[in-house]
């Protein structure tokens, strides 16, 4: 049985990126580059040979690197805005029945957060 997963990102801005997620309320392990909040786990490895950054912008304006289902997108959006998150996509209701938004971190990785409007 799979318990969880961690997405691994390579960056040349590791410290800035870890500081950014720490500011947004994530638990940070600076030694290993682990970032965690409410089950979302990411790992940031430092590299000087960044050949591929984010899915955005090379795969279009709406391309995301990670997408998380949440229970209250509006509250999370307001919290992130208050804490200084860089918003990639403002909170909106979609034609596919989601309320969602996205942030972008200092390494250029995009994280989307969505709540189903069908529930």
Write down the pTM of the prediction. 0.91
Residues 6 or more apart from 102 whose CB is under 8 A from it?
Answer: 64, 87, 88, 89, 110, 111, 112, 113
| pLDDT classification of 1: cutoffs 50, 70, 90 | confident
Per residue in 33-55, pLDDT (tens digit) is 999 999 999 999 998 877 666 77
Instruction: Please compute Rg for the chain using Cα positions.
Output: 14
Summarize the confidence of residues 60-83 as an average pLDDT.
Answer: 93
Please enumerate in sequence order all residues whose Cβ is within 8 A of that of 18, keeping only pairs 6 or more positions apart, or say none: 28, 30, 33, 35, 44
Decide if pLDDT at 82 tops 80: yes
pLDDT for residue 57 is more than 80 = no
Domain residue spans in the chain? Answer: 7-48+55-116
Fold of domain 7-48+55-116: 2,3-Dihydroxybiphenyl 1,2-Dioxygenase; domain 1 (3.10.180)
């Amino acid at each position: 049985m799979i318990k969880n997963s961690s997405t691994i990102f390579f960056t040349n801005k590791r410290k800035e990126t870890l500081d950014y997620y720490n500011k947004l309320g994530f638990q940070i392990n600076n030694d290993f580059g682990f970032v965690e909040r409410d089950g979302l786990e990411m790992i940031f490895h430092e590299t000087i040979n960044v050949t591929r950054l984010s899915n955005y912008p090379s795969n279009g304006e709406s391309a995301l690197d990670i997408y998380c289902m949440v229970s209250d997108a509006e509250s999370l959006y307001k919290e992130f805005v208050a804490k200084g998150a860089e918003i990639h996509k403002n909170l909106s209701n979609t034609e596919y029945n989601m309320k969602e938004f996205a942030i972008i971190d200092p390494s250029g990785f995009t994280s989307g957060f969505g709540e189903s409007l069908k529930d």
